[in-house]
Chain A
């Protein structure tokens, strides 16, 4: 029997980073209908940082969460409506209850890779309401396979029905993927997944390595539409998995049609591996920081690469966007001091 791989589409969530969270109604309708027609199992919708994350600090969404989810709900029938949830940004009363009322099917409960404890209440709440819950460990390049297993076991204990390792910074090479995914597959009772970013050009290769290492859930984004250098390109994933005789249940022609549509109607530019993305991958910093770093580099007249390298040294994680300003100010001071010494 051909092995089944569950493809989870993060275009309308991770892709929000790439357009500063400015998804509009027409875009959501068009893409949901295209994904539905292609037979995509689940589509994640929302602000780049997930439910409840729209804010001045990390970017305001064009549409409220409720609006985005309601629009998507109306246009998804067989395809599950999914949300990305990080405790802290989202709370049960303020966000989860409303999302469930709208009819969300699947919850990606996410946290930094060493902080699974904070997901306990959300996972329990979602399971009690009959929702499917997949745990998401982010920035997993920062932790060993043993630590990741311990955190994944916590999520399994809380009721997660799968755990996905996020390469949020696009820092993995295939051997890292194999080491971590195969270790988790061997030690968990729930399926393991992988979420790639393409900073070092490895998103598809890493996703395939994950599959070959036993992962059963793979995240992809149409045309790679995601933070920084983008994610594993969904239509390429479908094609390659088809060639490797894995079953995804997604129609290749129709997902290619969806890619055309997304390129015309949603993407401001097709994700490519820019210099900063390479630096972000090498320094192990979350790809979603790229736009903020570029903006602040201009404002403070700094080399954005220096900011990324310094952020990497400080081991910053998603949600710490305000630290970029701090780093920029510090680097500016250092530069001023150095210039004074040089001139003095």
Chain B
């Protein structure tokens, strides 16, 4: 990463710290393990904690556990070379001993990329379910353990028969468990139930978060999600193609908000409670595409193909986090897209495409 990109991330971290320092005080002098820590969320947590250490004397250290830490070390040298960030290169399913002074664990191990879920469904299930089992088992031995945060998914809500504009933590629908597309959410549900079981039977302190949708730095535009494709097409002067009618409502949280929310739920979330993480500002895919074209200052066409009548909503109700944990949203839809495009424009062309 070059200086401009690092500067961009530092600016985001400074903005996040400007409103959240008092909320995160308990993180000071703690050692945090992030399982699956080389992905989008893990990278942001490492970035933000490094910033808090450098600028606000948090003295927090991070251990990143991941199957493959090499690409993280290559791409994020400014983090990988720090003394407050360490690495364990192991599969979460095989680990049996964690550094003994760990006080908090964030379990973020599982790719949300739906292409992987359908190509490697058994691996997907095993990583989520066996991985969760094994990580919590390993955490038994930690004398200083204060809490584990399990990062589940907003997808666990399934299809709700009554379509609500905002999905609350108790709004469970269903899905057809015999479909290949149900692999990921079903595994996530089982992992949540596993957390509940350990919490109940062995009193392990576990809290759950259900992330929805995000866009911003450390995300790849090659991911198969609408907004990522739209931005990729806009930045490459290609027509933005919307397969359906453009009516599905989605929301996107900017990662500088996300990282504060994750850390706050970790330290202050109630045991055995699940919290939605995401933006409550719903927007149709058609409007997302139009905003991207406007903000990116490009003339690309938007081709709505009307191939289906999907008008689903996937937007979280976040009042639980707002009321119980004092969290708030600092980036509306416009800010999120504007800041994201500014970031992606900083990347070399190959990085945008690959």
Q: Which residues of A are in contact with B by a Cβ distance under 8 Å?
A: 117, 120, 124, 127-130, 132, 150, 153-154, 157-159, 161-162, 189-191, 216
In the complex, which of the residues B119, B232, B354 contacts A120, with contact meaning CB atoms closer than 8 Å? B119
Whether B229 contacts A157 by the Cβ 8 Å rule is: no
B residues 163-181 touching A (CB-CB < 8 Å): 179-181
Contacts of B354 in A (CB 8 A): 128
Q: Which residues of B contact A161 (CB under 8 A)?
A: 241, 243, 305, 307
- Which of A124, A129, A154 counts the most chain B CB atoms within 10 A? A154
Q: Which residues of B contact A162 (CB under 8 A)?
A: 307
Verify A157–B307 contact, CB threshold 8 A: no
The CA-CA distance from A36 to B179 in the complex, in Å, is 41
Q: Known A158-B115, A161-B305, A189-B310; judge A128-B353 contact (CB<8 A).
A: yes
Contact check, A190 vs B233: say whether CB atoms are below 8 A apart: no
Q: Which residues from B are CB-within-8-Å of A157?
A: 114-115, 117-118, 181, 224
A190 CA / B307 CA spacing, docked (Å): 6
Query: Is A153 in contact with B239, judged by CB distance below 8 angstroms?
Result: no
List the A residue with the shortest CB-CB distance to B307. Answer: A191
Q: Which residues 225-269 in B have Cβ within 8 Å of A in the complex?
A: 229, 232-233, 236, 238-239, 241, 243-244
**A280 CB, nearest partner CB in chain B, Å:** 32
Q: Are B232 and A128 in contact (CB under 8 A)?
A: yes
Instruction: Assess the B180–A153 pair: CB atoms within 8 A.
Output: yes
Residues of B within 8 A of A (CB): 114-115, 117-119, 179-181, 221-222, 224, 229, 232-233, 236, 238-239, 241, 243-244, 305, 307-308, 310, 353-354
* Interchain CB contact (< 8 A) of A159 among B224, B244, B305, B310: B224
Residue among B221, B238, B307, B310 with the highest chain A CB neighbour number at 10 A: B307
Q: How far is the CB of B321 from chain A (nearest CB, A)?
A: 30
Q: B307 to chain A: which residues have CB within 8 Å?
A: 161-162, 189-191, 216
> B308 is contacted by which of A130, A150, A153, A189 (Cβ under 8 Å)?
A189
29 contacts between A and B (CB under 8 A): A117-B118, A120-B119, A124-B224, A127-B224, A128-B221, A128-B232, A128-B353, A129-B236, A130-B232, A130-B236, A130-B238, A132-B241, A150-B179, A150-B180, A153-B118, A153-B180, A153-B181, A154-B118, A157-B117, A157-B181, A157-B224, A158-B115, A161-B243, A162-B307, A190-B243, A190-B307, A190-B308, A191-B305, A216-B307
Across the interface, which residues of B come within 8 angstroms of A159, CB to CB?
A: 115, 224, 229
Q: Which residues of A contact B353 (CB under 8 A)?
A: 128-129
Q: How far is B307's CA from A323's CA once the two chains are assembled, in angstroms?
A: 40
Name the contact of A130 in the complex, choosing from B114, B181, B233 (C-beta under 8 A).
Answer: B233
How far apart are the CA atoms of A158 and B117 in the complex, in Å? Answer: 10
User: Which chain B residues border A127 with CB–CB below 8 Å?
Assistant: 224, 229
**With the chains together, A14 CA to B229 CA distance in Å?**
31
Q: Which residues of B contact A117 (CB under 8 A)?
A: 118-119
A127 to B244, CA, bound (A): 16
Pick the contact of B243 from A129, A158, A189 — CB < 8 Å?
Answer: A189
Name the CB-closest residue of A to B228.
Answer: A128
Q: Select A153's contact among B179, B221, B243, beta carbons within 8 Å.
A: B179
A120 touching B115, Cβ below 8 Å = yes
- Bound complex: CA of A191 vs CA of B307, how far in Å? 6
Q: Which residues of B contact A153 (CB under 8 A)?
A: 118, 179-181
